[in-house]
Amino acid sequence: NRIQIKITYTLEFLSAFHLGTGLPNGLIDRAIARNKDGYLYVPGSTIKGVVRHRCEQLAKLYGLEANEPHTEESQRREANIRDPDIITRIFGSRFLPATLYFDDATMLEEDRAAYFDGSKPDDGIYKAKQIEERTQVSLSRRTRTAKSGRLYTSEYGIKSLRFKGQVYGIIDGLALEDEPEYNYSLLLLVAGLKSIDRIGGNKSSGAGQVTCTINDPVLVNGNSVNQRYLLELAPENLEYYKLAREMQA
């Protein structure tokens, strides 16, 4: 059962966060990702990875087959494109291209406006308010002590910033028995997206705490659906998924 969906959501950071570029920027050793206009954003690839991880955790919670990527066993099972597991149905694999797309999440307009400094937005001064700089020291995993001469400076986005993104495309999965206009893959995706609580680097030190709000309506084959309704459908139906899959085999 293949259905076309469009989900919009809002991320709100509850703590400072680091979504790095992997490159330095002047005196900054670990720069944060910015778009072409200089605003912070959350890369779609990062969101996809986090949502996939949460969906894998939920699938295992419900006793569903969920292959972890990059293992020999997962590669063998991914090749079985006739009967892929629910994670592969949502996110695709090397053998089964994904048909869902995760856009970059961009800063809300009202949050962007909060960083304008006077009447000269082009001077770039206001954009510095999006970030804070932290100087840290590298630690030795072996001795658990600071490494000599290993200070580095990182950029962090400030807490309370909000970003809006969307997931859209075709999602494949087994249809619900009582409501065939929806499928199990959609329910797991919505539950996984809603459960996001951390994004980015330095999570062990408290960075990247976030909440995800799914905005109404969710579009399913062009029809509007309340996100709360889909979230309520998820627990009882995902418990039934394994049996439903065996019955439809």
Burial class (CB in 10 A: 0-12, 13-18, 19+), 33: buried
User: Could you tell me what percent of the chain has a pLDDT over 70?
Assistant: 78
Q: And the tokens for 39?
A: 């605003």
**pLDDT score recorded for residue 29:** 63
Please tell me the distance from the alpha carbon of residue 121 to that of residue 138, in angstroms, as a whole number: 37
Question: Dihedrals φ, ψ of 132, to 5°?
Answer: -135, 150
What is the chain's length?
249
Q: Three-class SS of residue 100? A: strand
For 204-245, the pLDDT digits (tens) are 778 899 999 999 999 999 999 999 999 999 998 888 887 877
Comparing 51 with 96, which gets the higher pLDDT?
51
Mean pLDDT of the chain: 84
Chain segment 91-122, per-residue pLDDT in tens? 988 888 889 999 999 999 888 887 655 455 55
DSSP designation for 174: P
Q: Measured between alpha carbons, how far is 230 from 142 in angstroms, rounded to an integer? A: 47
How many Å apart are CA 233 and CA 16, to the nearest integer?
Answer: 33
What three-state secondary structure class fits 117? coil
Q: Model's pTM, two decimal places? A: 0.84
The token pair that represents 103 in the structure block: 């856009």
Choice between 96 and 66, residue whose per-residue pLDDT is larger: 96
pLDDT per residue as tens digits for the range 156-207? 899 999 999 999 999 999 999 889 999 999 999 999 999 999 998 776 778 8
Helix 227-248 and helix 184-194, axial crossing angle in degrees, nearest 10: 140
* Type of residue numbered 132: E
Residue type present at position 232: E
pLDDT tier for residue 64 given thresholds of 50, 70 and 90: confident
Most confident among 9-13, 95-99, 147-151, 234-238 (mean pLDDT):
9-13
Taking CA atoms, 242 is separated from 24, 87, 171, 239, in Å, by 47, 13, 18, 7
What would you report as the CA-atom Rg of the chain, rounded to the nearest whole angstrom?
21
* Angle, alpha carbons 102-107-111 (nearest 5°): 160
Domain ranges of the chain: 2-18+35-117+160-248
Q: Which pLDDT score is estimated for 83?
A: 73
